[in-house]
Every structure is written in structure tokens, then in C-alpha cells.
Structure 1
């Protein structure tokens, strides 16, 4: 019987070759894996889930994939592959998908909504012609769309990055002057921006169609978001790069970098951007564009308005919400969205565990004693202060020390050198937190002076140096950084294992940026997941928001008259009350006072009292990646079993076959069910996992392995009668091994290599007791089937 591999090698590949798909620059990519497999926890240890793999991906050009093919064995129906082909095409952002068993071919055209049977695969020219028809690009623009990207063998684009690049190029070359990409934090927006610029630059595109390289401006709101891309990702542009500053203006380069602040107008100077003619730039890439540039009343909007003739591409990690509505109004609907949930599901981003820690005063509030004075002799007004007030209205040193003490104990119990970022309310709070952590970790500070460091706007170049060391994969210290606003965006710290929230974050956009500091994966450094330590309730509140990682949502209200005719139509984004009361600053730069005494009019400092942690709850991201849960494993195991198997009989039929049991166990692990952890949590280590799962799913009786083995002997005493005494002795020994260790003890050939079975001889000698290997395998299969017969 021909296998799927036979079908691919003997039937599908020759057909693709005849159609011309292996003639350069076209290419056939066979068995192409395009995700890394979600990180799951099995037995408390991280492991990778199943990767998504396409049988074939067809590329019209090296950087432009155009179709996916799902292959099935020749004896199966071609329809068995249609849904898989369709699903993969949707994930990969492709219009065309094919299913084939080598004899039949079904073409799925997602744009046309059709499924048709074809006699053969289309040629590259046919498929590209249909694709071009949808894109509606003139010849010159189509040629530029197919320009090659910069080759990076060490870090090739992931599938979603390639989609984002091509969607942006299609929009720009198609004449869309305002475009937006929505890629979650950690998804690699800078790499996407670089490849877009490289392909346009190498193709010689510009807005007027002249024979020259384009002029590109890369804008962001912080130096770190500009310097890192310029010096690292965009390095292949060489001398074509230039960073704008008040004393560094050039008109002779191609790729410019600047912060808004460096070229915007303020009370001291006119805008530096006016040094350039409005039509000087062909393309402006606005990184983190949700952070103010698109607001109609923003001083930075003046820059975009001045360069109105340029094509403008916004890049954001924020879906459509109240706080980002100006961004979407200006740039339009996102060309492509890649969410945090999808990144975690694909295994490109790290999953997280949330620790909700509550101090006694956060639980019930804090009230000063009568006539209590603060550090500077000011009377503290008699009021009840809550979490949102701490470090904004009143700074309680005891609370800061309690948080620092708990965090220190957490690191001691996990890893004291796990890179950690602590987000504080302001620079002053970050300084207090740093001092408290230094005092509690004096043993390590004595050996590593920078074990704890503050990185805020006031540190300047010193802070940048500490941050650079923190990001360095080879640098052991600093381990803990305390900050307030400065590190919320654009800090690529792939080894950061702990994100600590010591301040309330009202803005969903800012919260997602903060969480993004931990989402980078570095498997080679053991970074497969991260912890969020939440001392303010922000994380649990934000993760509970249904719109946390959802698609952009808009509600359209239509008013009609008594005849059903439309009178008025209004569209408004859905948002929560928390968004409307967002505490995100109007300008994202961190501009707190240089001296704590400047805080005196706005904040009180209380140094006395005691604060204790009264609760520590641990929330895990559930197996579906959709919500946090405190539930025990047993609470959702039954539900997941029933989604896999409709009845106990269906479950039994799969479990009883050793060759299928492994797939069942993998499917359970994919859904977050670890059989060893399940046995531990239920206190039933001696039960057969099959019986335990049936009990949780269908309330079946609980049975130990010893009881199941005993029942088999009582139910079917003549099961082994046909075998000789020597063979029956082996089967009895194997049944005893099952009773103590489970069904894995019945797996061949390992079962024959451990005592007491190995005492009967080597595997060949044991097989001869049954009349040969084939008879022995038949006996083992019969034993397993009988064991699970009831």
C-alpha cells in the first residue's frame, strides 16, 4: 500500500516539476515547518508542542510564497486534505491552497471562495497572473514587489513577518499612502521594517517613479528605539544611514533615523524637520505609532503633516481601542495583525505565569494615625489610601520594602540571577525600590556592585550602559533593573525572566508593552517562559478584559425611522471604563523631577509602619492560551478528554493500542494535561491513567493497576492456556510489571530488558518461548487488549 511519502515522491513532485515550479527563481519547499510548537509544561518542565508543517509551499520568488499543498496517501480521498490545506493557507496568508492524493487535485481559492478539481497543478505564470489580478499592480510595481529581501541565514523571517512585509509592499506599491501593521510586542517589528525598506531601496522605488533610491525616515519616540535599529538591524545599509540631530543634518543619505523630539518644534526652537522639503522623504516608518504621533493635537503630528506627500507606514502592538483610535483613524485598518496569543500558540513567544501578591494595606487600604507627619514634617491628610494612591499621593517605605522582600524571597526560591525588571510608579519610587533590594541582597551586591540598578531618564548614559549590560546575553549583571516609564517599550531583553508590576497600569496599550519585555524566547539560554509578579492587581485585571488580546472591535449603531429607512449611522470602538480613565501620559517620554524635593507638592513620604504580604496566588495561562486560571489540573481534565473522545469506548479503543497510546498522551499534553502531575494532584499514583481519566471525564469507577491486573486473571483465567508454561511465566511477569509501573512496562522491546522479565533470557531467547518474535508480539497485543477490555 502506497504511503503518503510514496505519493509525494512518485506522483506529486513530478507533477509540480512538469508545471515548472522547480525552475529558478520559483521553488518547491517540501516538508516546510513554519511554527516552533507552543511551549507547554509537562511534569513541571517546559516542552515543545507539535509544530505546524506544510507538505509543500510554492514560491513564485524567493521572498514571495504563493500557494500551499497538503498531500495525502494515494489510497485516501483527496477531500481528506482539503480542510488542512485551507487552514494552512489562512495561517500563511495565502490565496491559493491545494489538496492532492497524487491522482486528484483540488484547488482552493480563498479570494474567490471556490473549490474546484483540476487535472494538474497550475504553472507559476498562471498562478502569478491570477494573484496580480487581485493586487491590480502595474508591471513596474509588480516587478518591485518581487525584489529580493536581504538574506539572513541566521535569522530568516518567520512566516508572519514575511506576510507583514509583503502586505506592506503590496499596499505601498499599490498607491496606499497610509498603512498600518499591528504586530504584538516581541514579534520583531524592526526586522519587518528593515526588510520593507531594503526591498524598496534595492528595487529603486520612490514615490515619483524616478530612477533613484528612496529617501526613508524611521521615526520613534525614544533614542533606544532609534539607536538599536540603526546600529544593528539596519546595518546592511552601511553609509546610507544617518541619525538626525540638531547639529547633525544631512541631505545626502537615504535611510534617516530620528526621535520625534529631536526634530519637533518646541518653545525653544522651530522644528528641525523644516530643514527638509515636504516632499523630501518617500517613505516614513513610524515605530510604536500608537504613542502619540497620530493624535490630531500632538506637536509630533506636525511632522507627519509636513511630510504629507510621503508614504507613511505605522507600526504598532496595540489593537483598536479607545486609547489607539487616533492611530487607526489616521493610518486606517491594519493590513495585518499578529497577536500575542498567536505568538504563544505558534511557540515564537514565551508563555507566562502570573503571581498575584497582595499586601495587607493593598487588601484593606491604609489610613494615617492622627496627626501623623511625613518625612518632611508635613501632616498626612486623614483619608483612606488605596493601591492606586501609593507612590502617587503617598509613598509608604514599608510597602516598598515588603515588595522588595517578597521579590527577593521569590528569586531565592527560583533563580537569583534570573533577569528581572521592576516597573515602579516614578523615578523616585524606582530609586527607593533599588535601595531596598540592595539592602536585602547585600551578599550578592558585595560580589557584584551592579546586581541591582536603576534605569530611568535621569541616569542618562550611565543608565544606558546598565541597560546594555542587562541585555547582553553574556553579561551576568545587572540582574534587577528598577524603572518607571523608560523600559516600557522597545527594550529587547530576551533573557528577562521576571516582569514585576509595582505600579498600577491603567492603559491597556502600556500594559501590553510592559508584558512584552518578557515575551522574547531564548531557548539556548533556557528562557522558554517568564513570570509576571503583580503587586497591584493590574495583570489579573487586564488579562480578565475580554479585549486583552482580541481583534479590533467596532460597534455600529444604526438609527432607522418607522419605515425602516436609515437615519443615522455611528461607529464607535468598544472599550472598557478603564481605558477611558487611562493614566498613560500624553507624551510617552519620562520627565519626572530631578530632585525628590520637587515631588513635595504632590507626594507625601511616610517612612514608618509595617507592611506584610498576606496572599500569593499563582495563575497559569490555560492550554487554549485564552485566559488565566487558578484551577487545579483535575478541574479541566475531564472537559478536555470529552473534546477528544465522545465516549469511554472510543477512548478505550485508542488507549489499548500501544502504537496509538503515545499519540493520545501527546494530544493530552498539547492541552496542558500531564499524566504524572494528574496522578500526583489526585493522590492516585497507583491508578491506571486510563481509569483516572475515565473517572474525571465520565465519573467511571477508580481502579488501581493491581486491581485491573487481578480482574483480568479472574475474568479470563484461560487467556494464556494456549502457550507453554515458559511463555505463560513471561506473560505473568509482564502483568506484574504493569501492576507496579503502568502500560509502558508492556512496550516492546524495552519490556524484555528489565527485571524480572530479563531473567528469562535475552529478547531472542524470550521470543523462542512463544515460537518466535511474531508469535510473541501477538501474545503481547492480546494481553494489552484483554487488559483494557473492561
Structure 2
């Protein structure tokens, strides 16, 4: 009896007998896909995590069941059951073969055989002994629409609402860029809205909720996308023009959206937010709250303190570090964390490659044959990366970097280039447009604070996945956070990134999923890659603060801080430095042609850390004995398409996926060789041969005993193998190859015999191809 028969004949009746699917509010989810599987080269994914059963009661996932066929021990699935329960934050999990049932409590650690599944009410009582009225009410409201249904989003929603029900007043969610923080916030607001929760907790009116961002595009995205689940008359977009036209701030909605600059502006230096009573809002969502909002001197702090009675939810992508420690001090520990590494490994974010680029003019010392166009040079001074485009400008240096970028990237792919400031972004834009292959005059555009409404329009067109122009955007600070452009394939760093917060935000510009997007590439001219080696690049936040109760009483609006004199924003987004005239240098004739460059690609281990080629090979050498003990065993695994695929999936799971193996091929000059030879070299130091040599050595034995038509077919298969590699020998490639060669499976059968016979030939020749 196989597993599916075991489920149908034994496990399903056991669940039904305990009331699952029978009791109102109870559901049984079968083959529940928890993750999507990490994206790999070629558009394939690693194996997703799929639970055999998930039990749901009152809209909460409450148990995991791992099923095994009747002939296997009931505890065969325990490891999987525990793994899935840990990921889903579920207490009770089960492993069964249909005849025996094994129960595990993840919280207490108790486990053992039980006679039957608990009923929905019994399991609810064991799991949620701390339920209160509001927890029950929030749970009764289902997630609305299509967003917010991934496992980690549900956990974030539930944990935040549990905190509200427990009357916590400051709540923090830390979720990687691209994982749907705004969708989570919208679902939290939806449940508050539907249950009529408010600060009085009396259910007499719907809550008034404020979504507070620091950029119009973020407020607009929230208003028009994730929060569109709310009725249009419940949503209010607050802007200065409407306030002036109305003669006051709007008060007739339920969900309000604004940016803090709007709230802090107002007539006679009186901020608009002061027109609302301090207890007007019941719930405030602070988007990208690490951007200064919780800092004692931060621009948002006055708003947050004024509306102190409200429950405040902070959203951030950035785990706590020294440069945003006040965020955690203000909001407390996150109620849920979902990291970039988790998102990539689960297949909800796009993985990335890093190309470090060094040139012979990364540093500069003035020599007398160069011309000083403007400013004063400091003789003998070494001008370093941080000085360029701030105190010294060398156009030829930037031109070389732009040339390297355009040569490295696919010029049809959407790209963001981060520059030192607005002037630098302008110069790089012009250089790109001068060197581009495209004939479109709008191919590259600058989007900075100075570009105003026109820049916003360029950004909207860049975000539109149906449009290809503009293809490249240059920026300084403005695009480093919160901009949802799913099809970004390249991130170029032409300025130092000193803050880990900003670095993670910039990397997040490329992580969003898009059809056909297998990875994105970071082109690093400024050694920003060292952030990846930081112990806290993607780790758990370190608690360096003592939690204190936030102020509860209303306070008056604080005086407005001074805006930036250049861009006029309270939180400067222009990157312009007010300093003396920049030094401009023109290199001597021909010197720019002498600038050399080098591109190196990094390996990344399974835990998200960069490693050298040698370290990668040493680690790989140490890991391989777990899968094969000898060269002969490796040949046996590799020569069968089924065992080969299973083996590749297993080593991919520990950090040696197709991407990494292909990069290693290049590093050891084995691009024209089989991946088998790469593994054979790393493990046993055997010489590498090309695929063409392998075919030449094995062809005679492969053709021995075959008829002419079979030889003709294998000739075709081997030519594809020589051209493209071992994936052409995968089992699922067989029908593709047959259709390519014969245009229809029926035609192939006429020449080669039935499908089983063709499959036998396809499998058998591979044993000979990989024999010694």
C-alpha cells in the first residue's frame, strides 16, 4: 500500500472520526505548500517544503501531520513533522502510517503514541489556553484578498494582533524587503476594522488607522495596492493641497495615509498633525520605521509622541544594529522576524550574485601631466573612493566605470545605479546615454529629489513591468528604500555604502520575484561586499537596549526641525553636500585608455556568507563523503538520471547548487566539461576532460549492439550534451529531445520502438558514458 492509499484508507477516516472537516470552522489542508523552493539557474527551483496535512480551526493553522505508507514505522516522518511545525510555529505535530499515531508537542518537548487525533476543540484548548476576547475576535476574521497568505505573513499578522489583544502599545515587525510588510500591515488593519477594535476596546465604532511613510510613492503604493481591500470611502489620502482647500485636516475616514513631511508642515509653523486630537488615531503604522522615526532627535518622534495614546506598529526590514538601536528601544523586540536569507531559501525572494569590480583608478594621486580644470589640488594626497564626486571629480574615471557596467550587463535588463550625489547621478546618466546600444533617448534617466514630478513619472514607468523604457535609473539616496520594482536585474554601487541599514535596503531593490528572473546581480565598485561578511548581515538582532514604557500622555507638537536647505525635505533625500567648490581633474591625453579593470565573482555559502574559491572547494571536499565514498560510487550515482537528480537536489540544499557548480566550472577552466568532472576533480583530484572527449572515449561502447536508428538518435542526444551539458540527459528532457528530433512522439516510436524501449536506451547509454 503506497502513501496516497494509506491516506485515503486510514488517515482520512481517522481525521473525520475526530471531527476534522466535520466541525464548523475546522478544515483539513492536504499537500499544503509551505515554501516554493529556492530559485536556481534555468528557472528551476529546489524541492519545496510540502506538508501532507495541515489542520485548521477558527482560521488558525493548529497541527501538522506527516504521513508515511503503512509498511513503514509510524515515526518515519517525525523529523519532517518537527521541521514543518517549527517553521509554522505550530505546537502539535503528528507522524503516522495510518495504523499508529505519534504525537509531538514542540513547546513541552513531550512526545509519544496516542490512540486518536484530538478533536478541534480539544486541540484548540491545548494550544490556545491564553486566549482572550480580542484574540478570539481577530482570529474569526479571515485574511482578505490574495495577499498576506504566505506562511510567514500569517505568522506576522497573528503575532502582531496577539500583541494588540494583550494591550501592548508598541509593536515591531522585522521583515526583509520584498516579503510583503505592507500586505501584512493591511491585513492587520483589516482585522481591526472588521472587529471594530478601538482604543476603548468597546466595539462601538471602527478604528481610525494612520499609515505614515516618509515618501509619497510609499504612501501611494500602500493606498492603491495592499490597502485597496478597504472600501474607497474608508480610505483617505492626506496631502497639503487638500488640507488647504478644505480649510483643515480630513477627519471622516477610517484608514488615513500620509507622509510625515505633510504632517510636519502647516501654516505659521504649526504642524498639521496638531489639528487632530492626540487620541484621534487608535492605531498607527509607521512604514520603514528605522529611517529616524524612533530616534529621540528623529523627525517623526514628535508625531509619535503627540499620538502617544495610539497603538503604534513599526515596520522595518533592518535588524537592530548600532545605527538603528533606538528603533528597537522605542518599539521593543520584534514580535516576528523574517530575514532575507529565509526569503531566498524559501523561494519567496530572488537570490543574487555579487561581482566585485576593481580598476587601476579607484584611488588617485595628482601628477603634473594631468590638468586641474577647477579647484585646488592637495599634492601627494591619495584621493580615495569616499572623496570621489564629493571633493574631486575625474570624468574619465566615471566613463570607464560606466563602460564596464554596460559591457557586463544585458543592456535590456532594468538596472539601478547608486551614485554619490545628485550631480554624480546626472553625470552617470549622461555617460550611459552616450555609450548605450539603445536608440531610445529616454533609455537612462535620473531620479533624485531635484527631479521632482518628472522623476516620479520616470520611476512609475520604470516600475511598470510592461514598459522597457527607461531601462536604467541613476540615483543617489532616493531609490534606496521602499520602491517596488519587481523586474530589477542589476544593482550597481558607484558610491560607498557605510550603513548596514542602507546596504540591506539597496540589496532589497533586487530581491522581488518576477517571472523568468532567476537571480539579480550586484556590481560592486566600492567594496561594499564587506557588509556580507558582517556577523549581523542577516542574523538575529542583538538586544542592546533596556525596554522602557513609552510615554502615554499626550504632549504638544514639538517645534519643526530645520529642513535641508537644498532639497527642502526634513529628512534629506538629496545627498548634496554644502561645501567648497569641487576639484575637477582632466587626465592627460591617452591616460584614460590605460585604465584597467578586473571583475571577480563571489561564492555564497548556505548560511549567506561569502567564501573564497579555495574555501568553497575545501568545504565541498569535506561535504561530499556524506553522499559518496568513492569515485565508483559517484559514477554509479551520476550515470542514472534519477539518482543524479536526487543527488543534485541534496547537495544544493547544503549550498552546492547548480549556480555554484557552474561558477566553479569557470574558476577551474572546466566550462566545456561535465559537472561530473568538476565533482571528480574536487573529490579525487582526477584530471578534467571535456564533454567532447568524454563522448569520443565512450562512443564505441555506447553504439555496440545498437541499430542504425538508435545510433542516429543517440548521435543527436550526444550533440546536445556536448553543446549544453549534462542537463540534456535529464529524464524530463527525453520527450523534449524526441520532439526536437522527430517532431512528434508517435514518429519517434515508429523509428525506435515504444516509449519503454526508448527510455531503456536513453538510460543505458549513460552508464557507458560515465564508465571508466
TM-score of the alignment, normalized to the shorter chain, above 0.5 = yes
- Per-residue deviation, residues 608-667 of structure 1 (Å, max 9, x unmatched): 555465233232453625233562886765444334335556646645666433322443
Which of 420, 425, 437 lines up with 2:432 in the alignment?
A: 437
List per-residue Cα deviations over 1:574-606 (Å, max 9, x = no partner).
Answer: xxxxxxxxxxx996431456xxxx855263333
8 Å Cα contact 2:148-2:183 kept in structure 1: no
Question: 682, 685, 688: which is aligned to 1:696?
Answer: 682
Q: Is the 8 Å Cα contact of residues 695 and 769 (structure 2) preserved in structure 1?
A: no
Deviation of 1:545 (Å): 1.8
Aligned: 1:466 with 2:452: no
Instruction: Indicate which of 505, 520, 525 corresponds to 1:535.
Output: 525
Q: Is the 8 A contact 2:444 2:472 kept in 1?
A: yes
Preserved contact between residue 395 and residue 586 of structure 2 (Cα < 8 Å): yes
Q: Distance in 1 between matches of 2:751 and 2:461?
A: 62
Q: Helix, strand or coil: the match of 2:157?
A: helix
Aligned counterpart, 2:541 = 552
3-state secondary structure, aligned to 1:487: helix
Contact 1:291 1:587 in 2 (8 A): no
The alignment partner of 1:39 has SS state of coil
Hey, what does 1:240 align to over in structure 2?
Answer: 234
Q: Secondary structure at the match of 1:175?
A: coil
Task: Give per-residue Cα distances to partners, 1:653-682, cap 9 Å, x unaligned.
Answer: 645666433322443455224788877876
Partner residue in 2 for 1:563: none
* Distance in 2 separating the partners of 1:221 and 1:669: 40
Match of 1:626 among 595, 608, 620: 608
Aligned twin of 2:274? 274
Unaligned runs of 5+ in 2: 547-567, 742-746
Q: Work out the CA distance in 2 between the residues paired with 1:370 and 1:94.
A: 71
1:730, distance to aligned residue in structure 2 (A): 12
Q: Is the 8 A contact 1:371 1:380 kept in 2?
A: no
| Offset of residue 765 of structure 1 | 11
Which residue is equivalent to 1:139? 133
Deviation at 1:245, TM superposition (A): 3.5
Structure 2 residue aligned with 1:350: 350
Seen in structure 2, the aligned counterparts of structure 1 residues 766 and 35 have a Cα distance that, compared at 3 Å, is closer
| Counterparts of 1:691 and 1:642, CA distance in 2 | 16
| Pairwise CA distance, 1:380 | 2.5
Per-residue displacement from partner, 1:60-99 (whole Å, max 9, x unpaired)?
A: 134x222221111111112221111111111122222211
Query: What is the alpha-carbon root mean square deviation over aligned residues?
Result: 4.1
Give, in whole Å, the separation in 1 of the partners of 2:574 and 2:668: 53
Q: Is the 8 A contact 1:420 1:496 kept in 2?
A: yes
Are 1:421 and 2:410 counterparts? no
Provide the C-alpha distance between the structure 1 equivalents of 2:734 and 2:575, rounded to a whole number of angstroms: 66
SS at match of 2:44: strand
CA deviations on 1:192-224 (whole Å, 9 max, x unpaired) are 111110111111111211211111111111111
Q: Counterpart of 1:48 in 2: which secondary structure? A: coil
Q: CA–CA distance in 1 between the matches of 2:752 and 2:455?
A: 70
The equivalent position to 1:216 in structure 2, one of 189, 209, 213, is 209
Of stretches 542-551 and 178-187 in structure 1, the one that deviates more from structure 2 is 542-551
After superposition, the Cα gap between the structure-2 partners of 1:46 and 1:617, relative to the gap in structure 1 and judged at 3 Å, is farther
- How far apart in 2 are the matches of 1:629 and 1:781? 37
SS of corresponding position for 2:284: strand
Aligned twin of 2:44: 47
Please list, as runs of the form range in 1=range in 2, the aligned pairs for 1:477-496 lying within 5 A after superposition.
Answer: 477-496=469-488
**Match among 647, 663, 669 for residue 646 of structure 2:** 663
1:230 equivalent in structure 2: 223
For residues 692-731 of structure 1, the C-alpha deviation after alignment (integer angstroms, 9 at most, x for no partner) is 6344314468798689969999xxxxxxxxxxx9899999
Question: What CA distance in whole angstroms lies between the structure 2 residues aligned with 1:739 and 1:431?
Answer: 52
Q: For 1:677 and 1:194, locate their aligned partners in 2 and report how far apart those are by CA, in whole Å.
A: 41
Within 5 A, what are the aligned runs for 1:476-625? 476-523=468-515, 526-538=516-528, 540-554=529-543, 588-591=571-574, 599=578, 601=580, 603-609=582-588, 610-611=591-592, 613-622=595-604, 624=606
Q: Give the SS at the match of 2:296.
A: coil
Equivalent residue number for residue 285 of structure 1: 285
1:469 CA drift (Å): 0.6
Asked if the contact 1:353/1:618 (under 8 Å) is kept, the reply is no
5+ residue gaps, structure 1, are 558-584, 714-724, 756-760
Deviation of residue 151 (structure 1)? 2.3
Q: For 1:323 and 1:264, how far apart are their aligned partners in 2?
A: 24
Moved more, 341-350 or 242-251: 242-251
Residue 352 of structure 1 contacts residue 621 of structure 1 at CA under 8 Å; is this kept in 2? no
Question: Is the 8 Å Cα contact of residues 134 and 165 (structure 2) preserved in structure 1?
Answer: no
Aligned CA distance change for structure 1 residues 71 and 381 (closer, same or farther; 3 Å): same
Deviations 1:480-527 (A, max 9, x none): 11111111111101111111111111001001101111111111xx32
In structure 2, distance between residues paired with 1:692 and 1:638: 11
Q: Structure 1 residues 604 and 737 mapped into 2: Cα distance closer, same or farther (>3 Å)?
A: closer
Whether the 8 Å CA contact 2:419–2:425 is kept in 1: the answer is yes
User: Take 2:732 and 2:522, find their aligned partners in 1: how far apart are those partners?
Assistant: 44
Aligned counterparts of 2:729 and 2:473: Cα–Cα separation in 1 = 50
- Alignment of 1:149 with 2:139, yes or no, is no
Tell me the distance in 2 between the aligned counterparts of 1:121 and 1:359.
66
Inter-partner Cα distance in structure 1 for 2:416 and 2:671:
40
What SS does structure 1 have at the residue aligned with 2:474? strand
Alpha-carbon displacement from aligned partner over 1:203-256 (angstroms, at most 9, x marks no partner): 111121121111111111111111211122212321111123442512221111
Aligned residues: 718
- TM-score (ref. length: structure 1): 0.81
Q: Is the Cα contact below 8 Å between 2:492 and 2:522 reproduced in 1?
A: yes
1:85 and 1:98 in contact (8 A); partners too: yes
Q: How does 1:287-302 map to 2 (within 5 A)?
A: 287-302=287-302
* TM-score, reference length from structure 2: 0.83
